[in-house]
Every structure is written in C-alpha cells, then in structure tokens.
Amino acid sequence: MLNAKISGIASYVPDDILDNEMLSKMVDTTDEWITTRVGIKERRILKIEGEGSSYLGAKAVEKLLAETGTSADEIELVICATSNPDYRFPSTASVICQKAGLKKAYAYDIQAACAGFIVALEDAAAYIKSGLRKKVIVVAAEKMSSMVDYTDRATCPLFGDAAAAVLVEPTEENVGVIDAVFHVDGSGREHLLMKAGGSVKPASVETVMAGENFIYQEGRQVYKHAVTDMLTSSLDVMKRNNLTVDDVDYLIPHQANLRIIEAVTSRAGFPEEKVLVNIEHYGNTSAASIPLCLDEYKGNLKKGDKLILTAFGAGFTWGAMYLVWSI
C-alpha cells in the first residue's frame, strides 16, 4: 500500500519585526498584557508594497525546491492554504507557481482558515495514496497583516505574516500522513469572520468606513471552542490509532494563544517537553503556524517520530492529524 510522506519542509518569514513595545505605542496595550494573555512577544510583517501572500508562499516554495534538490518541473500539483488570498480570484496558488517558476504544475487554493494546512495536507496525501500524483506541494501562505486593523487592540497584537511549504511524495514505508479527523460548524462564523468583501457584502466605501474589511473576532467565544475542539479531535485521532500520550513524540498545536495551547495539552496529559511552540516570535500565522513550527523544530525530529497536529479556526473548522515524521 502506498503511503504519503513529507519529504521536505521549508518556511519563510519577512524580515520586519513588530514587537510588543512598538504595538504599545500604536494602541492602548502593554507588553505585560500581551505576554501573559497570549504569549506573543513579536510578529513578522510583510511591508513590500504591492506584494501579498503569494510573495511569502513563493519564497517558501523556492527554499523547499532548493533544499530537497527538486526541479520546478517535477512538481505536478500545488495546493495553497490561505485565508489571505492575493485576489478574490485567481487563486494564490496559481500566482505562487508563476513566481516560483513551476511551469508543469496545476494549482488551487483551499480555504479552511487556521486549519488550512492540515486539511490541504490530507488532500495532498489522498492524491499520493491513490497513485494519481507523485510530487505535490502544500504551501500555507498568510499575509495576516493585510486584514488586521492596527487601531483595534483586541486583534492587532495577535497576528503575524509567514509561509511554509512541504513536499509530499509516495512511500511504501509506514510513515507520513496516517489518519486525520476534521469537523466544521458554520454557525461559528458569527464569532470570527471578515464581514465584508465577499459576495454577501461586497466591499464599498461604507464597509471600509465601518471597519468591516478587517478581522472581526469575539475572542472569548473562539477561545472556548478552540480549547474543547482541539482537545477532543486530538484525543479522537489518538484513540482511533491506539495511541496514548506516551506513544506520541510531539504534539504540534495551531499557535493562536499560549494559554489555549497550555489548556489543551495539560487536559490531554502531554508534558511540556512534548509540545512544540513558537508563538512567542511569530504570533498567529493562521494556516502557516503548524508547518512554520515543524520547520523550526525539524532538527529535533527524527524519522519515525509520531506526531499529532491539531488546529482550530474560522468556520469554525477544526481537526487533528496523526503524522509519522519521514525526513
């Protein structure tokens, strides 16, 4: 039976840093509030005029190709997970292919908000396991700063810009994407959405003036669901695969709030050293957060390590994946 393994990983963050001190001069907040409530110290911001998420995504893809020694022409498919597409249409994936010189691939976007990476990875794995494709790139590219209101202290400390990409290929070894559980609850959109700019309420002078083209989030509601749903989906996928906490080498949760991560992991019984966290330096980078974290810690991971990835985001959309590391 064919399995789908991750054979390479790379990430890219812009150079510009926005730290808590700088934010506290922009809005009524403090380093102390942000650090204790969310666990973020700094985030990266893409400041190049006229560049969107595809800029970040293409950089991550170029690095991935270089590091895996893969030629651009070998890639058959690129799936881009993003909540911040360059345009309503065409897809950001198509722009990434053009920028990174992927002339033989076809490409499309997936919108599953912060769960986008694991959802897209499951799709890539299905193409590989079925034998339909042999080299697929999943890239999560998020210029979150494009939809953040930097006058709103409730949301502007939370988000950062980043991209990360993985190469997915077939293997006969028992590694790679083993199993996943996903859920969606569309009623959750009232708590986390961009109210205007879509087909329900196209952007207009009025929507812009009302701030409806920025992220709207009712933090406490989202917090509650994020803790419960990442916990239950992680335990669910572990149970389905007869895994206890002792069997799992690392848990890699979506990085939205350090307190959410601590609540999920302590309730599941994971010791701190088994939980990979990098929110302090990047904030919430939506779909990019899990692969960005994996890339940062890849030196600690070894082939055969059993990983649980879990994410929760707008929709609500959430789930967990059992992945056996394969690099």
What residues are annotated to the active site? 114, 254, 284
Footprint on residues 37-66 left by ligand UT7 (CB under 6 A)? 37-38
Shortest Å distance, C-beta 290 to ligand UT7:
11
Q: Which residue from 8, 52, 85, 157 is in contact with ligand UT7, where contact means CB under 6 A? A: 157
CA distance 249 to 291: 17
CA dihedral of residues 121, 80, 157, 320 (deg, nearest 10): -10
Nearest approach in angstroms of CB 324 to ligand UT7 is 26
Q: Which is nearer to ligand UT7, 157 or 176 (CB)?
A: 157
Q: Which of 1, 15, 205, 220 binds ligand UT7 (CB under 6 A)?
A: 220
| Dist CA 178 CA 181 (whole Å) | 11
182 touching ligand UT7, by CB under 6 A = no
Phi/psi at 57 (5° precision)? -65, -40
Per rule CB under 6 A, is residue 313 in the interface with ligand UT7? yes
| 77: amino acid identity, one letter | L
**Alpha-carbon span 27 to 34, nearest angstrom:** 12
The least distance separating ligand UT7 from the CB of residue 49, rounded to whole angstroms, comes to 27
Q: Specify the residue for token string 């990360």.
A: 164
Stretch touching ligand UT7 by CB under 6 A, among 70-78, 90-98, 123-131, 254-262: 254-262
- Does 214 help bind ligand UT7 (rule: CB under 6 A)? no
The interface region with ligand UT7, picked from 31-39, 77-85, 122-130, 161-169 by CB under 6 A, is 31-39
Q: What is the DSSP string of 238-271?
A: HHHTT--TTT-SEEEE--S-HHHHHHHHHHHT--
- Binding of residue 147 to ligand UT7 (CB under 6 A): no
Indicate the residue among 216 and 223 with the shorter CB distance to ligand UT7: 223
DSSP sequence for 43-59: EE----TT--HHHHHHH
Beta strands 136-142 and 77-81 are: parallel
Task: By CB under 6 A, tell whether 310 contacts ligand UT7.
Answer: no
Q: How far is the CB of 67 from ligand UT7 (least distance, A)?
A: 28
DSSP strand pairing (162-171 vs 176-184): unpaired
Does 318 help bind ligand UT7 (rule: CB under 6 A)? no
Q: Does 243 bind ligand UT7 (CB under 6 A)?
A: no
Quick one: which of 185, 166, 188 has its CA closest to 177? 166
Residue numbers at the binding site for ligand UT7 (CB under 6 A): 29, 33-34, 37-38, 114, 153-154, 157, 219-220, 222-223, 226, 256-257, 260, 284, 312-313
